[in-house]
Amino acid sequence: MFNAGEQDAYGWQPVTGLEKWRFVGTGIVGLPLGFRGSTTVTLARGPRFGHVTFGNQPCGGCFPFNDAGVFSPRKAIAYKTVDARLAKIFKTPWGHEVTADFQVYNVFDWVNRTYSIWGAGSGDDPTLKENGTVGNARSFQAGLKYEF
């Protein structure tokens, strides 16, 4: 961390880019007709981000910079995504298996924001919102797997 000559100017701070908390849960369920469904849910507080100040500074015109994560996103759950998969296993007469599956990533097409030190969180009256995004838009994938 660079603090323009005063290493303790901001005290102890969490590291930028890390979240206060993150939850990842998965579930798999057997469905009728030999189908198998699974899902992964990710919820997080969102990454902390730093602070750049401008204007009159006590250090005589220096450029104080704190990339230690003094801010968190406004929402309690700032990052969320749900991924789902549906699969069916077919057995061949000679003992092999073919698995057909269909996956949807970010099922609800949630937009998850990213934060930088130069955008959100910078200036004397910092905004805590930024238009950058992280993660994928809703997307689909289909596949076949052959086991022998």
pLDDT over 90 at 4, yes or no: no
pLDDT tens by residue, 63-72:
555 555 667 7
Domain residues for the domain of 74 are 22-82+114-138
Residue 128 within any structural domain of the chain: yes
Q: Residues 42, 79: contact at Cβ < 8 Å?
A: yes
pLDDT value at residue 81: 94
Residue 12 within any structural domain of the chain: no
pLDDT value at residue 19: 82
Residue 49 within any structural domain of the chain: yes
DSSP state of 132: -
Handedness of CA 69, 70, 71, 77 (dihedral sign): positive
Residue 88 within any structural domain of the chain: no
Provide the whole-model pTM: 0.71
Better pLDDT: 4 or 89: 89
Helix H or strand E segment including 105: strand 97-105
pLDDT over 50 at 100, yes or no: yes
